[in-house]
Structures are given as structure tokens and as C-alpha cells.
A and B are shown apart, each in its own frame.
Chain A
Amino acid sequence: MTPQPAPRPARQPQAAVGTPRSRVDGRLKVTGQARFAADHGPADGIDGIVHAVLVDATIGRGRITSIEARAALAVPDVLTVIHHGNAPRLPYRDNSFPDSIHPPGERLRAFQDNHVRFFGQPVAVVVATTLEAARHAARLVEVTYDAEPPQLDLVTAPAHEPDIYTRGDAAAALASAPVQLEMTYRMGRNHHNAMEPHAIVARWDGDRLTVWEKTQWVADPRNELAAVFGIPQAAVRCYSRFVGGAFGNSGRTWVHSVAAALAARELRRPVKLVLSRRQLYFGIGFRPAYEYGVRLGSERDGRLTAVVHDVRGETSRYERHSDDLALGRMLYDTPNFRQDVRLVPLDVNTPTWMRGPGWSTTATALETSLDELAHELGIDPIELRIRNEPADDPATGQPFSTRRLHECYTTGMREFGWHRRSSRPRAVREGDWLIGMGMAAGAYPAESAPAQAHARLGADGTVVVRSASSDMGPGTTTSMAQVAADALGLPMWSVQFQLGDSMMPPAPVHALAWTMASVGSAVQATCDRLRRKAVALAVGDDRSPLHGVPADEVVVRRGWLHTRADPRRGETYQQLLARNGRTHLEAVGGYEPPEEIRYSMYAYSAIFAEVAVDARLGIVRVRRMLGVFDAGRIVNPKLADSQAHGGMIGGLGQALLEHTVTDPRDGRILNANLADYLVPTNADATDIRAIYIEGVDNEAAPIGVKGLGEVVQVGVAPAIANAVFNATGRRVRDLPITPEALLMPR
């Protein structure tokens, strides 16, 4: 049953939305003029910046017994060294959801006690007038510790009580299933490694604090710093106009921001603190490592009768970060399902979201297990999935708002040449290379959150729209301008969308694929309202050519308000405002997700990968990838493709290259740099393609989008892993898949 689409908000012509516009901030970025957090300084009116460098703990757990800062303070140009021994007590007011996205627990505090909770925890901050002096002095701070061996073993450490989801009777169904499979997948810890290291410039003016900070949510540093320092939120302002990639790593404010703000307050000077690449590995969060057990029970024809997930995921001791691992509950029609998720507190810093958080993890396990089942039964992997395609959401019983996953499969099969895949592994060889194809499905919730926007039409006919969102690469400033341009009937060049200032109308964190649906809908609503205001002014103005026309019959194109019946009858925004003596018109508007959600709303992915595995050397190269996405309306296909490339190449890293290595003796992270932690290079990204299934989803959002930013990395790693199996006949269940796992006999 196809749900009825929500009524269209206006019959404005769609000229910008849906077109492949170039980024409006492209020029700023290619000329080096786009300013990221660490770029702020004199040109922004911030004079006298001094530099702060953190000192990191060199034990994995224990207590600081002494801190000797004399040698550091003796370095010329050093201003201060702050640590738990001399730092003021900070109020640390509570700051939980919805003012933040902190996981439950006690957030890490800056220099408030002598506990070391993980290797690398900041234990002091050194501030100097030159960067060289600050860095050098930081090395001279002598810290002694009472060290204990840290608990770092995900597999054996005691876990919290499990979070259990269950429907039907999975144990019984599994036991009586004609086909039973059991496997365990292991996924190493991954780090975002965005190109921009976290950075903050903090400046106090009396009791007011301004920060230029790397964040995906400008409200968050405001809320967190206000809470930490015990000052009103109104006393803090956060700017974050350009963010150098995030992938989830700046949805919350980390302890280095507090350290910088504290130093700035103590010194009464603006402080700049930039984390080193190394410090990113323990100074901010990461995608946690998992041990993921899957048991499947099915009929001989592949219909799943029971699915059981036993999951262990790492978290810190002081906060419980849990990823949303719900993919298994809704992807396939399984009447009996049980999932036990155990968070294992370890002596590490708290994980956080990373692209496709949770969904990508479950997809790796679930989609590989389905491939194993397909192989076991001799059924084509896509056919197997189609046989398990649910009519309604098996978890909630609700109908899907839109679910075009089947079309993703068939489109992908056709475009990728799936028929050329051999169902028998290790069947295709080209010289030294074994060739294989694999696929995987994915999904990501199409959710949204409250958002507001403000739009101002000037007498010159240009519009500025604002919302406190961010743009870490998806192209938000462009796509929002497109929405606004169409709603107002203006050409793109006369519309500007501004973000990145906590004083702007509130927007949610730029994550979880919320932004297009939430901020986009708010922008739509706000600009609709502004247009209707202009129209009302015109039709009520007896000197206007549109006087007396029913408002519903007036549309705007290229700034020309006119009647639909007779386009010549109309006037421009400029004429309207001028004649009415108005310098501007403005409107505020917002979006609230509906109270009652009557549909199951997800974006879907079907990822296809072809790999070449060196038959003797074991190295894996992805030759091509295709992602087919059901994400509802695509506001900008050019930007969408860039997102898709990002997600798929990110998934390549997940599958073949990335894992953070920790020394179990002391928690030291051993590959805390970009030479030893391997991210994909240009040479690794060969043939990457994306296709979007046509169709909007007006339940998911008034503007018909389902969100793309997260789903693009869901299903990629298992597609590649499955391709490796098809190529070699060897099933590798530990990610990343490295050559040592594929040194096969002749």
C-alpha cells in the first residue's frame, strides 16, 4: 500500500533543487580563503593570540603523583602551565541531552583531579606566546604516576548488563531451523581522521566567552562551555563556519576546548589550541571496536526463521557510548530475532559516532552472514535478500514510508553486471589476480529534529537565510540555498545561506543524516512564509499589478511575482519593496518532526564491489564499486555524488585498511598518525559510481528527502568482504582484511 504523499507546500517551480550546482563556497575553498577554526586571528579582530599545547598522560590508568612544571616555565615565552594541582575548580554544571549528545555517565573533566583514565588523557596545558615555545615546554613538563595495568580486552573484560531486544522466540526457532550458521565477526577500532585536526580559539571579554571552534553543532560548545564554567548560555558564542571534515567526530565538545577556554580565562588573552594528529587518537572519540556474534537459522530456501546477535562493544569507564545497532531488526523479515548488546567498559576514552554509526557496524556482520548463508545454500546473495524482503517493518509492524531496496538491487545488478559473477568462489583469474564480486545491503534511519531558520529579503531583491547548522563537506550552504531559491523564486546568485554561528536560529547537530530533512524543511517553511508575506503585501497593495489576485495564484520566478494565468502581470521583489517604502522583509520559520510517527522511515543502500586479490601475495585491490541509494529527493546530484564517493571510499578503508592499534600493556596507541593508520589514498580509489533511485518521501520530511550522509557508508565494508570471498573462497571475518589473512596455498 503506497501511503498518500503529504500535500505539496507550494506550487513554486523547482529550478534549483535537483540540479547539479557547484558548491557556492568553492571559490573560497580553492583560494585558501575559507577559514577553519585554527585560521582565525588578527584578520577576524582577534589580537594577541597565544598558543596552548596539551601534555598527555603516558600511562594507561592510575593517578598522577606529581607534576613538575619548573623546566617548562623556564622556557622563554612560556606564560603558564595549568594542571590539576593549580587549576581552579570548575562548576561543571550538568549538560545532558537535549542540550548535548553526551552519552550517559560522567564526562571527562579538565584538570579537576589526579586520575588518569586512559593513555593520552590531558594532564596539563602549556601556554606560550610562540608555538615553538609552547610545544617545547610541553615536553619538559615532568609528570610522575602511580600506574596500574589498564583493562583493554574487549573479549574478556567484564561487561555492563546487556541491552536486549527480542521478538518471537529466537532460541527455539534457531534450534529447530533446518539450516543453522554461527560465526563471529571482529571489527577493529576506527578513527575519523578528518583532515582538519580539532582546534579552538577562545577569547573572553569580561564574563563573555567567544570561541571559534571545530564543531558539527555550534550550539554544543556554547552549551558545554557555559555548563562547565557555570555561566549562562547567552554569555557564550560559538563560530564554526567551515569544518575540515568531521564524520561524527565533532558532535560534542571535547576536553581540549575546556582547557583552551580555561587558559584564556586565566591569562586574559585569546588562546589557540590545535590538537596534534596524534592527539586526535585519544583526545576525541572514535568508532568503537566490536566483537559481533551472529547466529542464523533459516529454511532450505533461505527464508530466515531466526537471527541472533551477540555483540560486545567497547566504551570508556566514565561514559557509556552505545551505537544504534538496530539494522538487523528491520532489514529482513525475521519473525524471531534477539539481540544482546554488551558494552564493555575499558580504560579508554569515550567512543563517538562515526559515519553510519552502529548501522555500518551491524551491516558488516549481518550482510556478511547473509552472504555466508547464500553460499551455504547455493542461492544467489541478492535472491536470498529478496526472499527475505519484508512487507512492513518487522520490528514495529508499521508500513514503510518508502522502501525501494528491491529496486536498488535490480538497478545495481543491471548496472554492475552482476550476472558475470561466478557463484562458485575462486573461479575467475586474470594473471596473478583472483577476481570476485560481492554485494551488501544497508539502511539508515530517515529521522529529523527540530530546526529553525530566519530569512531576510533586502530591497535589492537578494535574500540571506540563516540557521545554526554546519558544513563539514556535504555542501549545506549550497543545498540550503537551492531550497531557499526555489521557495522564493530567486536565482541562486541572489540567495545566500549562512550557518556556523550559535546566535543564529537553532539547528540540530549536523549528523545522523538529519540536516537536509530538518534544516532543509525549516528553510523551506521559512522561505515559503517570506514569499507569502511578499505576496500578501502585493495583492493587498492597490498600486500593485497583483492587487486583488488570490494569493494562491501568485508564483515567483527569477524574482518576478506574477499570476500563474498571465505571467506578464506582475512585479519584482525590488519594485514591491520600494513602492511600499520597505528596506526589507523577513520571516522566521521552523520545522518540528511530527509527534506521531506512523511509518518506518529509512534510507537504503545496495553496494556492489569488484575486487582483485593477488593469488600469492594476498593484497586486495578494489577495482570498482557501485552504490545504489534510495534516499528520497536528491537536492543536488553533484554534491550527492561527492557524499557517495566519500562513504564508499570510507568503507573501503573500513574493510581493508583501518584499525587503531593499542598496546595492551599500557594502552598506548601505536599508530596514532597518518603513516601507520592507513586511510585510502588517491591510488586506492579507482572506479566509484553512485546511482539514486527516483522518488521522494514526503513522510520522511516535507521536502521529500531521506538523508544520504550516513547511509553512503552502510554496507560498503561487507560488500568488499563478500567480494573477497567470491574471489578467493576464503572468508575473512576480522576487519580490516589484510594480506596475512589471504596468504593462500597455490
Chain B
Amino acid sequence: MFPFTYTRATSVHEAIEAGERGGRYIAGGTTLVDLMRETVERPRALVDIVGLPLSDVSATPRGGLRIGALARMADVAADPVVRQTYPAVAQALELSASAQLRNMATIGGNVMQRPRCAYFRDVSAPCNRREPGSGCSALEGYNRTHAILGTSEHCVATHPSDLAVVLTALEATVHMVGPEGRRATPIGQFLLQPGDTPDREQDLRPGELIVALEIPPLPRPLRSGYLKVRDRESYEFALTSVAVALHIRGGVIHTAKVAAGGVGTIPWKLPAVEQHLVGRRPSPDLWAQAAERAADGARPLVHNGFKTELLRRTVERQLRIVGGRS
């Protein structure tokens, strides 16, 4: 690890001031300490924000959910309000990482986590995300766990967060505070595809701090869930995953929210799937047809071509699980 100074922020204001001066925020540390050990991250100053009062979880008027950015994953997963309003959030969290990591990691940190690409994590390998212009080792390298959607010629790394997939499906808003005050942006615009600037992963300005994630209300009753497909039974990132939320009334789907994980450089909203579902009646055929649209635009690589088909099947399966039984 490269040397750094360590200070604790006692207020949001103090944190932002330090952030503005180049300090990096550290909360649970599960991403940052790991990457600092690999020397991928080399901050000169760490600002510990874990003690800031940003961990509240509360229902919002009309049935939405606001989750403080510093709430720990484990606490959010166990929170009765979360389990009541958006159980898919709890489900995604419980399928993430391990119990120990969930006790340490925060919601904000989880959304901000960086890719698992082996080349990104190895400073002796060319990587455009770490060093723009140095090349992408994964394109011609081993890319089984890499993305098939949202890729560019510069970067193909998958966004690894499970929670972010649910937040993307449910169209959450990211609330931030920075030197220029408060700001909010939809998560679909907050997390950035690599494009020509793979080093820019989030729409986050210098010194800005995420304070909360807010999920808007959705029509009730809402059926939802998160399905994660992986090689082993636990403690592994997704090969593919899908978050689905459906509001069915009178036997007809009125609202459909679908997003996929494990396949995109950001969590992948599936509007084509959603549009195929709205206004229709649940049936096995419907799930299969809707799922056919899940991999639209996919550009598989040498080792992850299977994800195209696996993604469709995962979507189909989760649609059936969430929407299949009355």
C-alpha cells in the first residue's frame, strides 16, 4: 500500500471539505482497502466517514424507501421497513458477498464498488480503466466473467454489485451532497458505461458524497425478487442475475421493472423486456417471449458467449418465479 494520511470526519461538512481537497472517502473499506493492497488505488488521504449520521432507513410518503448511504448492508437487509416495502433489496443484499462483508460494507460503497476484472486488479497488466490509453487486456484475454452489454472497445468489465441491479430495476435516485450543495440523479445515469472514458465510473463530482439511495413508490401489491446464478452455491459474484418487480391487477401486468446483473458494464435495465410485459397476462409463453429481448444488443466475447443465452433463461426464470404463481 502506498502511504496515506488517515482522518475521521465528524460532520458531513468536514468530510466534503476534505474531499474537495483530494481526500478519498472510506466507509466499510471492503473495496478500498482491497484495492489499496493491490495498489490499484493509491489515495494520499483517507477520510473516514463511517461515523457520519447517514445510515437511516425510512419509508417515504406513498410507499417509497430511502436508505442512508452509510447504512451497512447487513442492517439494511434485516431492516423490517426494507423487508416490508422492497424485499428484493433485502434479497439482493443477502445474496451478496459474505456475512462478514455485509457487516462492514455500506450501501453507498456497494453501489460504488469497482470491477472484478483480473486485469484491472493487476497493476502489471494494461488496463484502460486504470490507465486510459494503455489498452484493454480482457478483450483478447480471459473474459468469462466480463460484460456482454454496455461494453466499448476500451473496457468490458462487469459491474459487480447485486444491490445496484435492484436499484436500477426500481429506478432509484442517488442523492449526493458536495461543495456545490445537494444533487440527485437517477441511478441509471449515475453509474456510467465505459465508452471512451472507462476511468469514469460514476457521475460524481470532486468532493461529492453519496448520502442516500431513494427508491420511488410503485403500485401495490408488488411482487418482486432477485435471482442470482453462479457456479457455486454461495460467496461468488453473479454469472447472471435478474431483478424483477411486477404489479399485476385484474390478471394483467400493469407495471414491470426488470434489470440484469453480471452481464453489463453497469446494471442493465431491460426496457424492451418491460415493454413486452406491460398490458399482458402472465403465462409461460409471455415470460419466454419477453426474455427473448433480454440480450438485445449483446456483444459477447470469446469466453462469455454463453451469457447471452444464460441471460435470457435467467430472465425467463425470474419472471416465472415472480409473476408465475398467483
Contacts and interface: CB of A to CB of B under 8 A. Distances in A.
In the complex, are there CB atoms of A and B closer than 8 Å? yes
B118 A621 contact: no
Contact of B239 (A132, A671, A739): A739
B317 A665 contact: no
Contacts of A675: 116, 236-237
Contacts of B137: 663
A139 B87 CA distance: 45
Interface stretch (A554-562, A611-619, A632-640): A611-619
Interface stretch (B151-159, B179-187, B265-273, B305-313): B305-313
Interface of B: 1-3, 39, 116, 118-119, 122-125, 137, 140-142, 145, 229-237, 239, 306, 309-310, 313-314, 316-317
Given A58-B124, A618-B310, A665-B141, A739 B229 contact: yes
Scoring A139, A621, A671 by chain B CB atoms within 10 A of each residue's CB, the highest score goes to A139
Contacts of B140: 665
A617 B313 contact: yes
Contacts of A132: 1
B132 to A, nearest CB: 21
B122 A668 contact: yes
Report the contact-size class of chain A (Cβ under 8 Å from the partner). 20 to 34
B26 to A, nearest CB: 17
Contact of B233 (A58, A670, A683, A739): A683
A676 B116 contact: yes
Contacts of A432: 317
Contact of B232 (A135, A136, A617, A680): A680
A136 B1 CA distance: 5
A132 B2 CA distance: 9
A687 interface: no
Contacts of A621: 233
B314 A617 contact: yes
A682 interface: yes
A680 B230 CA distance: 12
Contact of A684 (B118, B232, B316, B317): B232
A661 interface: yes
A437 B152 CA distance: 44
A678 interface: yes
A682 B234 contact: yes
B221 to A, nearest CB: 25
A432 B239 CA distance: 18
Contact of B234 (A617, A671, A683): A683
Contacts of B141: 663, 665, 670
B118 A681 contact: no
Given A136-B2, A678-B236, A739-B239, A619 B229 contact: yes
A657 B231 contact: yes
Interface string A661-702: 101010010110001101011111000000000000000000
Contacts of A743: 306, 309-310, 313
Contacts of B118: 670-671, 676
B231 A668 contact: no
Contacts of B119: 670
A656 interface: yes
A740 interface: yes
B310 A684 contact: no
A587 to B, nearest CB: 50
Contact of A740 (B1, B125, B306): B306
Contact of B231 (A656, A670, A682, A683): A656
A684 B145 CA distance: 21
B306 A739 contact: yes
Contacts of B237: 675
B306 A617 contact: no
A368 B185 CA distance: 56
The 9 A-B pairs at the shortest CB distance, nearest first, are namely A740-B306, A683-B233, A683-B234, A58-B124, A670-B118, A616-B313, A684-B233, A681-B234, A670-B142
A139 B37 CA distance: 10
Nearest to B320: A432
19 contacts: A132-B1, A135-B1, A139-B123, A432-B317, A617-B317, A618-B310, A656-B231, A661-B142, A663-B137, A668-B122, A668-B125, A670-B118, A670-B142, A675-B236, A678-B231, A678-B232, A681-B235, A683-B235, A739-B231
Nearest to A743: B309
A738 interface: yes
Interface string A612-630: 0000111101000000000
Interface of A: 58, 132, 135-136, 139, 432, 616-619, 621, 656-657, 661, 663, 665, 668, 670-671, 675-676, 678, 680-684, 738-740, 743
A395 to B, nearest CB: 38
Contacts of B306: 739-740, 743
A678 B233 CA distance: 11
A616 B236 contact: no
Contacts of B122: 668
Contacts of A683: 232-235
B44 to A, nearest CB: 14
A144 to B, nearest CB: 13
Contact of A619 (B116, B125, B231): B231
Nearest to B227: A617
Contacts of A661: 142
B3 to A, nearest CB: 7
A683 B236 CA distance: 12
Contacts of B239: 739
Nearest to B97: A675
Nearest to A672: B118
B229 A617 contact: yes
A618 to B, nearest CB: 7
A683 B1 CA distance: 34
Contacts of B1: 132, 135-136
Scoring A58, A619, A680, A740 by chain B CB atoms within 10 A of each residue's CB, the highest score goes to A740
Nearest to B229: A617
B203 to A, nearest CB: 28
B4 to A, nearest CB: 11
Contacts of A671: 118
A680 B233 CA distance: 8
Nearest to B235: A681
A547 to B, nearest CB: 66
A562 to B, nearest CB: 56
B94 to A, nearest CB: 12
A739 B310 contact: yes
Given A58-B124, A678-B231, 14 more contacts: A136-B1, A136-B3, A432-B317, A617-B229, A617-B314, A618-B310, A668-B125, A671-B118, A678-B232, A681-B232, A681-B233, A684-B232, A738-B231, A743-B309
A740 B232 contact: no
B145 to A, nearest CB: 8
A151 B210 CA distance: 48
A154 B164 CA distance: 41
A591 to B, nearest CB: 42
Contacts of B145: 676
Nearest to A737: B231
B310 A740 contact: yes
Nearest to A666: B125
A174 B260 CA distance: 52
A77 to B, nearest CB: 11
A670 B121 CA distance: 10
A661 B2 CA distance: 29
A739 B310 CA distance: 9
A700 B179 CA distance: 78
Contacts of A657: 231-232
Scoring A618, A670, A671, A739 by chain B CB atoms within 10 A of each residue's CB, the highest score goes to A670
B146 to A, nearest CB: 11
Contacts of B309: 743
B39 A139 contact: yes
Contacts of A678: 231-232, 236
A618 B235 CA distance: 18
Given A136-B2, A676-B118, A739-B306, A684 B313 contact: no
Nearest to B230: A619
Nearest to A619: B229
